[in-house]
Chain A
Amino acid sequence: MGDVYIQGADMIPFGRYNDRSYFQLGAQAVLGALDDAGLSIRDIGAVYASSCFNAQSMLGQKILKEIGQTGVPCINVSNACASGATAVREAWVAIKAGIYDMVVAVGAEKNPRGMLGGAPFEGPPPEGLFGSESMPAVFAEAGMVHAQKYGTTIEQFAEIAVKNHFHATMNPKAAYRSETPLEDVLASEMIAWPLTKLMCSANVDGAAALVLVSEKKARELGMSRAVRIRASILTSDPYEPRNPMMFDPNSVTRLAAAQAYEMAGLSPQDLDIVELHDCFAVAEILHYENLGLCAEGEGGSLIDSGATRLGGRIPVNVSGGLLSKGHPIGATGVANMVEIVEQLRGEVGARQVRDARIGLAHVLGFGAAAGIHILEHA
């Protein structure tokens, strides 16, 4: 059975698109990925389209109405913040099964405005009465577990935002491209201790797309810019005693990481670059350990060491991450992989990680789902 390759990749600049619909953003990303691969929508056998909030609107079909109604199947998926990785994973499965030679995975989103989180409930509005269901509060509570166990400080959490905002200054497609020194991060509005506003991801619109092809097709098209998918993993949350009263970002990610390293036949030490789900600054430190980038309890010292900064041992979120590139929910999982693809090809300019050959992209969906892809330059 042959491998699956990424032949085309593109994302639109993330930001606010008040005058365009989410499917127009998605269509633009698909055209960009097709152009990158030198292909037409007429070559594509199926479309896997992700949106957390609009998958049920027939997103894929709406995209094809913009760029060519070829009559191919459209599979529309929603899986919280892991929606994009889910679309890519389904596209991978279809090619792996030998059903198609060339498919598109696209994520497109216009997020609702304001702070996300909370669920409908029959009874008094629970927010404030029974703690908080806001996403910043939920992740702050997860971060405080780490802080209590290992003594992780607010400064260490804040340094994640400093790093990722610095990285974004080199990414013209990032929504926010201003450097934020530590004192600015700490002085920005406190949302939920220890998370200040600059430690929360940017709620923006965006879209990203990939063209996945079979090994046979990749050889026909030329391997020089092809990127091989070494692992494609999707998990749901295993039982944890406090779940669902306490969201657990760790176990679902650890399950995915173990399976991804096994499928790839690789270990964390083999990675040259990582894009992980920094929805909030505390999450990046948790995922350092969840992904095995450092030992248990050493997430704080890993950020202190500079190892995860551009130029360090294992650069993380060089795109600027969700914190500053932005987090259009259903597009994020695809966009993380676009960054890895372009890094492995050596096409990103100032933020290029030197000699990057193997990269990992991770997303985490609340509720829960984790998606991990390990990519290698062919």
Chain B
Amino acid sequence: MAPRPGHRSIRVDGSGKPFLQGYRCGACGAVVPEPTMACRACADRTPPAPFKSPETGRLWTWTVVQRSYPGIAVPFVSAVVDLDGGLTLKGTVVGVEPAQLRQSLPLRLVYDDAGGGTDKDGAPWIGFHFTVAGEA
């Protein structure tokens, strides 16, 4: 069964390849993560237009989560990442020592299987995480 986007910013193109979609206002340039009826920044009535977002960016802020909801594996690094092109995403940074983390650290988005789960029909999810740019 074809994989389904497991995050609202993920889309799948005609060949089954995932990409990231953001929305940019033609009037003021504001970038938002979801479609809206008008621009939430400047209230222009032309809805912000979809664009394909780059998958590289920089760390804005983070925390190391040591206790989450019951059943969630810890620790993990929760991060807010400013992607090149203006879209901001929250995500988990994998394979990084907390001591390495600093504002503006270059990061790269990597698609994954979102923990291996499926939807109710058995279709696998497409998720993502971040790694330090330049590392495998």
Contacts and interface: CB of A to CB of B under 8 A. Distances in A.
A140 interface: yes
A144 B61 CA distance: 6
Interface string A135-171: 0110011101100100000000000000000000000
Interface of B: 4-8, 30-31, 33, 40-41, 60-70, 72-74, 76-80, 82, 86, 88-92, 98, 102-103, 114-115, 117, 119, 125, 127-129
A192 B88 contact: no
Given A124-B115, A131-B79, A246-B80, 7 more contacts: A115-B67, A118-B69, A123-B119, A123-B125, A192-B66, A245-B33, A245-B88
A124 B7 CA distance: 8
Contacts of A244: 33
Chain A interface: which size bin?
A: 35 or more
Contacts, number: 127
Interface of A: 114-115, 118, 123-134, 136-137, 140-142, 144-145, 148, 189-195, 239, 241-242, 244-246
Contacts of B65: 128, 132, 134, 137, 191-192
A131 B91 contact: yes
Q: Is the interface of A mostly helix, strand, loop or mixed?
A: loop
A125 B92 CA distance: 13
Contacts of A193: 63-64, 66, 98
A141 B69 contact: no
Contact of B73 (A128, A136, A140, A141): A128
B30 A241 contact: yes
11 contacts: A127-B68, A127-B69, A128-B68, A130-B127, A131-B80, A132-B76, A132-B78, A137-B63, A137-B65, A137-B68, A241-B30
